[in-house]
A and B are shown apart, each in its own frame.
Chain A
């Protein structure tokens, strides 16, 4: 069994509870829950009432676009703030390694997004009340959203470790997240295929977070999807560790 270092546990608790002590956490929860509710039911094609189906499809379809702006707002402070105020010195002179600190902070932010997702339960209740949805698919939709959130948080953590400026970290994360979401979209692939060879286009397509998200959200949970999200998270977290070891002194 893997033994979790006590320092990771305590840092996780401190970070997780800090989301509920600062305005950031509350603002995030209100905007996320209100926004996703509005987008799901907003009048228009593809909205919940328009498709006349007791399905969570319209709800999950909007999740990536909410995350695109809201996740960078959560991740931007992960390291940028610590480095700007100098508390990183306090943290890393306690018996905790950079890797442990990166993991603890990442898990805390991920758990916070988990809470936000749990807060959308009235959606599920509504759908169950109105019809008999496939709950397995709904569950997978949540799994996909959670995994995507983890990936985007890991990306955001990396950019937060890159700069001391939270606004710069936010903007870089939005751009990177947009690229990862859109990597598999036809206009981009078409454009890229005019310049780059086919294997590069395939590689780009396989990097598409949205592609993997859609596949799980539709109810097809392939091991390759899980593998993709895990590799992405590990890759970006590892990047943060390397980066912090390099630039923590700046």
Chain B
């Protein structure tokens, strides 16, 4: 469903992503891990078609994001980092706007709205202005706009960042529920999250893929079972006691 082939991205003289490849299928949650500035967000921006890759390409349900951008984008739901939203709009109005932009037929929009508002527990704030919402609600609105057209591929850039523990829990529950029929790529630097919701994870550092495998593979590399030790050993390329790579 999602196929990333040797994607690279260079800004002026800075190489942010250096040839990353991976695949993800329906029913799978792929975790995208890495320190800040590793190239996670840039890779996601290339996959969603916001940025053109400097090399390589990404296929979404067989459509190339570079040569068939609009077709490929129809399959993607994307919640960008920090949940940017049009603050002056009301939640319902905003989601209706996104639904129209996503080319959902007008008669289907009320049903879709009802569905995503319920799914993301937004019913009580549906008639509120986005700027008055708390961070947790804004994240959910951002997720709701990514789900409105029922995309096959969901790309979530740090969806739980800045949420309180209860909100994090709810968000993870929701992602797990969605995972059954979608292909989800989720970036995070919260390691417990990876263990909890991801089937597979990729660690990237300095624009390169450093590890790919199941979270328990990652964990088993540490004799104390500490995933953060393995993460440090991989991304910092140093010896960490108890970790054998």
Which of A6, A14, A18, A90: most chain B Cβ within 10 A?
A: A90
Q: How far is the CA of A166 from the CA of B234 in the complex (A)?
A: 43
A96 touches B101 (CB 8 A): yes
Residues of A within 8 A of B69 (CB): 97
Q: Which of B49, B78, B103 contacts A7 (CB 8 A)?
A: B103
Given contacts A95-B74, A249-B45, contact A89 B50 (CB under 8 A): yes
Task: Report 24 cross-chain contacts, Cβ distance below 8 Å, ordered by A residue.
Answer: A6-B103, A7-B103, A10-B97, A10-B100, A18-B86, A22-B88, A87-B84, A87-B86, A89-B45, A90-B85, A92-B50, A93-B49, A93-B50, A93-B76, A93-B78, A93-B80, A94-B98, A94-B101, A95-B70, A95-B73, A95-B102, A95-B103, A96-B101, A249-B45
* A198 nearest CB across to chain B (Å): 41
Beyond contacts A86-B81, A86-B84: 8 other A-B pairs, Cβ-Cβ < 8 A, are A92-B49, A92-B50, A93-B76, A94-B73, A94-B98, A95-B73, A96-B101, A97-B70
Answer yes or no: B145 CB below 8 A from chain A CBs.
Answer: yes
Answer yes or no: A194 CB below 8 A from chain B CBs.
Answer: no
Answer yes or no: A85 CB below 8 A from chain B CBs.
Answer: yes
Q: Which of A90, A95, A97 contacts B145 (CB 8 A)?
A: A90
Total cross-chain contacts (CB, 8 A): 64
Given contacts A86-B80, A93-B73, contact A249 B51 (CB under 8 A): yes
Residues of A within 8 A of B43 (CB): none
Given contacts A18-B88, A22-B88, A95-B73, contact A89 B80 (CB under 8 A): yes
* B84 nearest CB across to chain A (Å): 3
- By the criterion of a CB under 8 Å from any partner CB, how many residues of chain A are at the interface? 21
Answer yes or no: A209 CB below 8 A from chain B CBs.
Answer: no
* A36 nearest CB across to chain B (Å): 27
A7 touches B101 (CB 8 A): yes
Residues of A within 8 A of B100 (CB): 6, 10
Answer yes or no: A3 CB below 8 A from chain B CBs.
Answer: no
B101 touches A93 (CB 8 A): no
Q: How far is the CA of A11 from the CA of B145 in the complex (A)?
A: 15
* Contact string against B for A residues 55-96, beta-carbon threshold 8 Å, 1 for contact and 0 otherwise: 000000000000000000000000000000111011011111
B50 touches A248 (CB 8 A): yes
Closest to B97 in A: A14
Given contacts A10-B97, A92-B50, A95-B73, contact A21 B86 (CB under 8 A): no
Answer yes or no: B66 CB below 8 A from chain A CBs.
Answer: no
- Top 10 A-B pairs ranked by shortest CB distance? A86-B84, A10-B100, A95-B70, A93-B48, A89-B80, A87-B84, A94-B101, A93-B78, A95-B73, A93-B50
Residues of B within 8 A of A18 (CB): 86, 88-89
Q: How far is the CA of A87 from the CA of B98 in the complex (A)?
A: 12
Q: How far is the CA of A46 from the CA of B41 in the complex (A)?
A: 60
A21 touches B103 (CB 8 A): no
Residues of A within 8 A of B49 (CB): 92-93
Closest to B85 in A: A87
* Contact string against B for A residues 211-250, beta-carbon threshold 8 Å, 1 for contact and 0 otherwise: 0000000000000000000000000000000000000110
* Contact string against A for B residues 173-186, beta-carbon threshold 8 Å, 1 for contact and 0 otherwise: 00000000000000
Given contacts A10-B97, A249-B11, A249-B51, contact A94 B102 (CB under 8 A): yes
Q: How far is the CA of A21 from the CA of B82 in the complex (A)?
A: 24
Q: How far is the CA of A18 from the CA of B82 in the complex (A)?
A: 23
* B15 nearest CB across to chain A (Å): 14
Q: How far is the CA of A94 from the CA of B87 in the complex (A)?
A: 18
Closest to A7 in B: B101
* B40 nearest CB across to chain A (Å): 14
* B167 nearest CB across to chain A (Å): 20
A90 touches B80 (CB 8 A): yes
* Contact string against B for A residues 89-129, beta-carbon threshold 8 Å, 1 for contact and 0 otherwise: 11011111100000000000000000000000000000000
